[in-house]
Structure formats: C-alpha cells, structure tokens
Structure 1
Amino acid sequence: MKNLIKKVGMLTGLFVVAFAYSLIANPATVKQPRDSIIIDFDNNTKILIYVKDKSDLENLRSFDLNAMLRDVSLSIDSSKNVTYLKLEDDGGDKYLKDTTVVFDSDPDEDDFERSRSSDDHENKARIKLGNYRLEVDVDDIEDLEETFEDIEDDGLKVTSSTEEKRLRKTTHEFNVEIGVNNYLEDGDFPDGNANYSVKPWGSWYVGFSSIHKTAIGNGPFFLEWGGTLHWYNFKLDNEDIQIVKTENGTEYLEPPVGTTGIKSKLTASYLSAVLVPMLDFSRGTRKVKKYESGSISISKYKKQGVRIGVGGYAGYRLGSHTKYRFKQDGDKDRDKTSGNFNLNNFRYGVRGQIGYKGMDFFINYDLNELFNDDKGPAKLNAISFGFIL
C-alpha cells in the first residue's frame, strides 16, 4: 500500500501541471480579479499571473507552462536558499509552444486527460501512468495532499471488475522471441545416434520482431504482420562431430585421432516477413482493480483473455557459420568457418501463436528443407518454439 501511495504522489505532481494549464486554456472557469489570476494549491504554494485584460489571458495559451515550471525547478535545485525567483525572456519567444496542446484526443492513450461531467458541470482530471490511472475532482485540489495523508488512516474502498478498452485500428510493438531449435526428419526428431542430432537445451532460437496489429471489424479478429530478424543455433548432441562443407555436400564427420570435441554447432541468420491472423476472444477486455477514498480513485489495469492464431512466414538467409571447439594433444583450440554450408537461401513455413494475459507462446515449422536437395546429411525441416517477450 505504501508503494501505491508513492506512485499516487508522483501522479499528483503531474496533475498539478495539467490543472494549471487547463485553467489558462479555459479562463472562463477561473474566478479572479480583472488584472490577475491566482492559482492557490495550498497555504505555501501559489501561481500568480498578471494580465491587463482577457485578450492577454488568451495569449498565454501560446506559451509552454510546463517548460517554465521545469526552469523554476532547475533554478531551485541549483540554489541552496531560494526565497524569490524570476523568469525573464527579453526576446519573448523562449517559452512559445511549437504545437497546440489538445486534451481528450485519446483518453485511453494520452498521459493527461481532462474531462467535464455533463450532469453536474464539475471539472475532473485523469492522469494515466503505466497501468495506473488517477482521477480526482478539480474542486478538491486544495484537499488533495490532506486526502493522501489520511488514506492509510481512513482506509480504501477496493473493487475489482472488467471493462472494455477502446482499441486503435492498428498498433505497433517491438517483440523479443526466445526459444529452442531442432529439426524433424520424416516427421520425427532424428535418432540420438545420428551425427546431426542436436541438444534440445543449448540450441537457442533468438528473434527481434517489429510487429503491427490491425483490427478487422469490431469482433475478435485481427492480423499480426511485420518483420523478424532471427538466428537458428543447432548445437550438436555429439560434440566430437565437426560440420564440414565438401564436394559431396555438408557432412558431419568424426574427429581425427587425438582430437576431442568440446562444442560443435551450426548458426544461420534470416530476415523474415510474418503474417498471422489472430483471434482475441476478449479483445479490449481489461481487469480493473480500483482503490477509492473520497473524491480520489486510483485504477490499476491488467490484460485479460486468450489469443490464438495460425499464419505463415517467409525469409531470406543473411549469413551462416560453424563453430567447432576442440582439444588436440592436450591443447584447446577452436575453428570458426563462415559459408553457406548448402543451406537453403529461402525459408518459409507455418507459425502458430497462443497467449493468455501478458504471456505469448510461438512455434515455427519450416515447410522447406534446411539444406539444398541432396546436399545435407538428411532431409531435415527446422522447427523452433518458445516465448514472445
């Protein structure tokens, strides 16, 4: 609970800035003398704005109040004893804004949201930070600090529910995929005695993906599409075996007398395009836990629902190499060789995904063979699976 209170305190600081701007943007809502505006936050904190008339007040909307407050904060931090600060701008354009601030453009995504109740005409403010949202009545701004101090004494009303979140047509995210590689021979994993069989643990698959999600209609259907840069690592189960390209193709050879293998693997990198139709059976549904005390409510959101989809991918090989670490006559050495090793330059296959809440699992299966025809140790189709982070 104490951690929650600290987070709310941070949100409150952000709210104060947003509220101050809202008063400037809507001068009709401010009760002030003709030549000044006083924004009184508590007994020790005031913002005083002098103006000649209403037209001067409208001109204030061209200035960035946030930038001014940041400069004040820097001035205070750099001075030990501050009793009076004055911001001066001889040119008159230091704090001009390049763009116009628009409130309520996207209530679910913007960091700041200001809304007005249509029933009682009371100003409200909402601030979103990560999975937390603070909502408070503007009229209670003077009592905000006192309310936070009394939360632990008065207690919080805690409720749990689910709600529908308005989603954008297309969203973007950057994913990291971590998993393991293997390959299938005639639908089965190679026999453990085969020279080309791999270690399930240590044959890592790593991918970096730029993925877009486009909703189709208002139902659960959407498309995931984008690009992935990824690496296959096939670590041989028998570390004595060395992978060598010969005139006959790529061979997996026993070591010469006096040589003992330590590690042997084949690595290949690909750039692939991905398209996966998905069904999200609770699209837009979020679990909400709300804490309420007086006019303040704090909401925490969590993803909900099952996602499942099947699609495909196609890619091109960027590079490949083998690495062979061994001990010969008591001395350790290694051999790293780059080349194509008769690997197919193109790859294409089927991809499946399933997710629940914040966790997603993937599986890729190459429909074409890993090696060119009759140039590998066997007819092998790569398979990889793991987690999307």
Structure 2
Amino acid sequence: MKKVCIGLLLLLTGSVLKAQQQADTVIVPLAKTSQIIFTIKDKSDLEILKHYNFQAMFEDILQRLRSDTSATDTTRNAIAKNDEEHEQNEEKWDTEKEHDDEETEDDEAWEEKVRKRDYRPGRTWQSFNFDLGINNYISDGDFPNADDDLYAVRPWGSWYVGINSTQRTRLARNFFIEWGLGLNWYNFKFEKDNVMVQRTDDGVEFVLDTRDVDHIKSKLSATYFNVSLIPVLDLGDHSRRPKMWDGYGSEFRIGLGPYVGYRLASKTKLVFKDDGDREKEKERGSFNLSNLRYGVRFQIGFRSTDFFINYDINELFVEGKGPKLNAVSFGIIF
C-alpha cells in the first residue's frame, strides 16, 4: 500500500506541474479503469495541498470502497479532515510567528536601552589588561652601545610584563579616560653575559666577572606598583576596549597620558656553568634604583590590536649613584 501511495504522489506531483502549464484540471489514471480528477481553480491551493495526508486519505477511500460506501462521501470526509488539520497548523504557525515578532521587538528595545545607557557620560567599565613588550633605556638621546657600555642590554630577553586593572570612564561619545592600577616588571638582560652589578660607597658600578666559568646570562630586574591615567580618543566609541581574541573592535583609538610607579623589589641574577654544573647567583637590594618612576604612556589601537610605549621621564638610578639612563618599554596589550 505504501508503495502504491508513494507512486500516486509522484504521479500526482508530475501531473500538477504539467497542469500548471496546460489546464486547471488534472486527471490521474489508476489501475485499468479507475481515475482521479483534480480540479484546481486557484493555483494558490497548491500550497495547501502540500500539507495533505494523501496516504491516509487513499487508505480511507479504499476501505470505504470495499464496504460499498459512497466514494464521494469518503473523499469529502478525508478532505474535511485534512482541512481541519491544515487550519490547526495555520493557527499554530500564526501564533509562533506572533511570538517571534514579539521577541524581535523586545530584543530591539533592549538593544536600544543598552545603547543609550552605554553612551551615558560618566559610566565606567572595568577590565584586566596585560602588557607584554621589551625594555631598553636611552642615554644621551641614544641607546647604549655594547662595545662602549657594559650596561647595554639585549632587546630580546629584556622583557617588560604588566598586569593591570583598568577602568574606562566615558566623558563623551568618543572620548574616554582609562585609569588603573597594576604591577609591572622591568627585566634588563645585558649584552655581555659576564656583566656584574656591584654596589659601592659612591653608587653602583658595572664590571666584568673574570672567573673561569662559562657565562650564560646576566640581568637586572625590578618590580613596580603602577598607577596610570590615559585620556583615549576612540573613533569606534566602544565602551570596552576590545581584546585581541574578540575578533572585532573599533576602527581606531589613540591615547596619551602619565603614569607613576613605586619600586617594590629589585635583584640581579648571574647564570653560568662551572665544570658542567649550572649555577645561579642572585642578589637582592636597591642597587641605587630610583624608588619612584614616572613617565608618559602612549597607546594606539586599530580594531582589536593595541600597542603601547612607556617612557620614564626620571632616571632609572638615583642621580649621581649610577649611569644616566631613562627606561623605555614598548609592546602589545592583551
């Protein structure tokens, strides 16, 4: 029976498509002497026919024919049943559509409410940002030369790392103040692996370690607690500065402002091999480093990528207690 119904449906479909081009009456021959006649006055009925249960209708017709029941009455009953089911489906579809429309209107109203709220001046958003870059310093307007200055550093390995809690306060549609607190680490890895930092009565000196060992690296590091205040022009007027992994962001933003840091700790580390054994010599102390650092931070971003440059206005070491060096750092913001 199922195969017969499927065949009838395929034949009916082909006949209907043919009738759309030739006539409004479709004749479907069945067996040897039987046929079904479809009269379609309005072609929009085709959409209704899609939802009819033809298999159930034919089973009902055949059952009534075997019982000598009027085929006309049988057909009418089957069609009436399908009409009832179709009307119920239409009511269900209309209800679902109205519900979807209401949800869409609610979403649009909520988005409009959020947009107006986000553009309110004085509103603040908090986020955690990470700085990753490299350190160096400037002496007499230039970077130190490894041939002349023992304190010259390698850019690769002289890492600058910062963890910051940043608040972003809107002052106007495209203008924000980014202010925050954080911890920053200076790492200065010297060009010469056997450089040692020594404290003397007159200050700090950079000397070479003359021991017969295989030197690996030497560095000076310092940890600071930092406070910053950066006015930012954001042409994309986003309330939160996007992260690199967000995949979106404003078109362009730029900021420039001051920062102040207080030194929490500092140390030196010399790594070498002696008779094949790896040795480390660490020494903690101030090394005449300035307790305060203050300078200017420049930020620039496009879409979801931001870069920074920090320049210390004051010298790295206490005046007269070490070389005149102004630390500078640059890198990327996550």
Structure with the larger helix share: 2
Q: Distance in 2 between matches of 1:333 and 1:285?
A: 50
RMSD of aligned residue pairs (Cα, Å): 2.8
Displacement, 1:217?
2.6
Tell me the equivalent position of 1:187.
Answer: 141
Structure 1, 253-262 or 164-173: larger mean CA deviation: 164-173
**TM-score between both structures, scaled by the size of structure 2:** 0.62
Tell me the equivalent position of 1:207.
Answer: 162
The yes-or-no answer on 1:123 pairing with 2:109 is no
| Match among 221, 225, 228 for residue 179 of structure 2 | 225
Displacement, 1:248?
2.6
Tell me the equivalent position of 2:333.
Answer: 388
Contact 1:313/1:350 (CA < 8 Å) preserved in 2? yes
Q: Distance in 1 between matches of 2:183 and 2:234?
A: 26
Q: Distance in 2 between matches of 1:207 and 1:348?
A: 15
- Residues 215/247 of structure 1: CA separation in 2 closer, same or farther (3 Å cut): same
Tell me the equivalent position of 1:277.
Answer: 231
Contact 2:134/2:156 (CA < 8 Å) preserved in 1? yes
Q: Distance in 1 between matches of 2:238 and 2:184?
A: 30
Tell me the equivalent position of 1:81.
Answer: none
**TM-score between both structures, scaled by the size of structure 1:** 0.53
Tell me the equivalent position of 2:305.
Answer: 359
Q: Distance in 2 between matches of 1:227 and 1:285?
A: 19
Q: Distance in 1 between matches of 2:105 and 2:224?
A: 45
Displacement, 1:165?
4.8
- Residues 323/123 of structure 1: CA separation in 2 closer, same or farther (3 Å cut): same
The yes-or-no answer on 1:315 pairing with 2:261 is yes
Q: Distance in 1 between matches of 2:126 and 2:266?
A: 30
| Match among 283, 286, 290 for residue 340 of structure 1 | 286
Contact 1:285/1:305 (CA < 8 Å) preserved in 2? no
Who wins on radius of gyration, i.e. which is larger? 2
Q: Which amino acid aligns with 1:208?
A: I
Q: Which amino acid aligns with 2:230?
A: V
Aligned residue pairs: how many? 222
Q: Distance in 2 between matches of 1:381 and 1:198?
A: 13
Q: Distance in 1 between matches of 2:247 and 2:316?
A: 44
Displacement, 1:301?
8.5
1:341 aligned counterpart, secondary structure: coil
Displacement, 1:179?
0.5
Q: Distance in 2 between matches of 1:275 and 1:285?
A: 17
For structure 2, the residue ranges without an aligned partner over 5 or more in a row are 1-97, 109-113, 241-245
Displacement, 1:282?
2.3
Contact 2:236/2:249 (CA < 8 Å) preserved in 1? no
Q: Distance in 1 between matches of 2:287 and 2:181?
A: 25
Contact 2:247/2:304 (CA < 8 Å) preserved in 1? no
The yes-or-no answer on 1:174 pairing with 2:128 is yes
Contact 1:285/1:304 (CA < 8 Å) preserved in 2? no
> Per-residue CA shift, 1:61-111, capped at 9, x if unaligned?
xxxxxxxxxxxxxxxxxxxxxxxxxxxxxxxxxxxxxxxxxxxxxxxxxxx
Q: Distance in 2 between matches of 1:121 and 1:234?
A: 61
Contact 2:170/2:239 (CA < 8 Å) preserved in 1? no
Q: Which amino acid aligns with 1:196?
A: Y
Paired-residue identity, %: 46
Q: Which amino acid aligns with 1:123?
A: E
Q: Distance in 1 between matches of 2:332 and 2:317?
A: 26
Q: Distance in 2 between matches of 1:186 and 1:354?
A: 27
Displacement, 1:369?
0.3
Q: Which amino acid aligns with 1:364?
A: N
